[in-house]
């Protein structure tokens, strides 16, 4: 997925070699992953192996994974960013929406079944 106007920052690429960090940064800056990986290797050897490896895996933990498909609207982008940032809040938000929807459906069922029950009882008395 190429750089999109809905993006707030770089995402980890799903097509990357190791955790998708370099590929995600390359997609964000619209460049080749080869150059980002080359820069990462230079940093790896210039700073010593462990500092660069630790920074790489911290970046992998901080960066959000790229969405499976492109966003079709700004609200989809906001929902995805909220979900990958705070999944517990987003799941609670979805739960509340479905709970409200379930309550509305039950009210509609009560109304429909009440009328049906009323007609059945009238017909059975006569």
User: pLDDT by residue (tens digit) across 90-104?
Assistant: 677 778 888 999 999
Residue 44: which residues within 8 A CB-CB, separation 6 or more?
52, 53
Is the predicted pLDDT of residue 89 greater than 50, yes or no? yes
* 3 state SS of 6: coil
pTM over 0.85: no
Yes or no: say if 65 and 86 are a contact pair by the CB < 8 Å rule.
no
Domain boundaries, the chain: 1-71, 86-126
């Amino acid at each position: 997925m190429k750089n999109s106007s809905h993006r707030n920052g770089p995402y980890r690429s799903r097509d990357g070699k190791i955790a998708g960090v370099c590929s995600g940064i390359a997609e964000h800056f619209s460049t080749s992953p080869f150059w980002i990986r080359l820069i990462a290797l230079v940093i790896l050897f210039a700073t010593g192996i462990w500092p660069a490896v630790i920074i790489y895996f911290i970046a992998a933990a901080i960066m959000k994974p790229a969405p499976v498909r492109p966003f079709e609207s700004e609200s989809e982008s906001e929902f995805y960013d909220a979900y990958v940032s705070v999944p517990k809040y987003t799941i609670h938000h979805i739960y509340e929406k479905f709970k409200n929807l379930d309550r509305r459906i039950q009210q509609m069922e009560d109304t429909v079944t009440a009328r049906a029950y009323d007609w059945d009882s009238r017909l059975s008395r006569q």
